């Protein structure tokens, strides 16, 4: 089917040109990489906001997972940097970035679930983004399938 869509190019030429793209060969990995970079930068910005000025976020009383806002800020800052770097590594074709990306997205989902009382909309958006990252990384074909 790929040879019909490419006009007069043969199937082998289509397969070889797909491999020479940006080194990852799958739209799902590009999608996951973009979302990881975007979500990582959003997490990083939330961390900076929490560290810079504690009164940006409203704290709730009697929350089961009550932590210091500055501590949450540092956690989000570090996670944001690592998630962004793993997203960039996906564009380099690093296989380890897929495994690390799934783990980091899962941890980010957990951290943002605990962050809901402080920034509800922001946390829910980041949970959804990380869910899409996990889905895209898990459904992308492996290098042996391409």
Specify the pLDDT at position 118.
Answer: 78
- Given this model, what pLDDT does residue 65 score? 63
State whether the Cα torsion 52-57-58-63 is positive or negative.
negative
C-alpha–C-alpha distance, residues 104 and 80, integer Å: 10
Give me the residue label for tokens 């296989």: 95
Is 0.75 surpassed by the pTM of this model?
A: no
Q: Contact 105/77 with Cβ under 8 angstroms? A: no
The 10s digit of each residue's pLDDT in 44-101 is 998 898 888 766 666 666 666 667 778 888 988 999 999 999 999 988 888 888 899 9
Spell out the residues 6+ positions from residue 92 whose beta carbon is closer than 8 angstroms to its own: 23
The position carrying tokens 């006009």 is 7
Confidence of residue 116 (pLDDT cuts 50, 70, 90): confident
Match domain 26-139 to its CATH number in 1.10.1240, 1.10.1740, 2.60.40, 1.20.1270.
1.20.1270
**6 vs 144: which has the higher pLDDT:** 144
């Amino acid at each position: 089917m790929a040879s019909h869509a490419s006009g007069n190019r043969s199937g082998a030429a289509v397969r070889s040109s797909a491999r020479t793209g940006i080194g990852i060969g799958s739209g799902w990995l590009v999608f996951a990489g973009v979302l990881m970079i975007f979500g990582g930068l959003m997490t990083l910005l939330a961390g900076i906001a929490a560290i810079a000025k504690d009164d940006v976020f409203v704290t709730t009383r009697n929350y089961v997972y009550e932590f210091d806002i500055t501590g949450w800020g540092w956690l989000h800052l570090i996670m944001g940097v690592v998630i962004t770097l793993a997203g960039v590594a996906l564009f380099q074709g690093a296989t380890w970035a897929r495994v690390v990306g799934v783990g980091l997205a899962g941890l980010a989902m957990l951290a943002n679930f605990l962050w809901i009382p402080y920034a509800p909309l922001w946390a829910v958006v980041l949970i959804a983004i990380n869910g899409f990252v996990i889905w895209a990384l898990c459904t992308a074909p492996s290098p042996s399938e391409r």
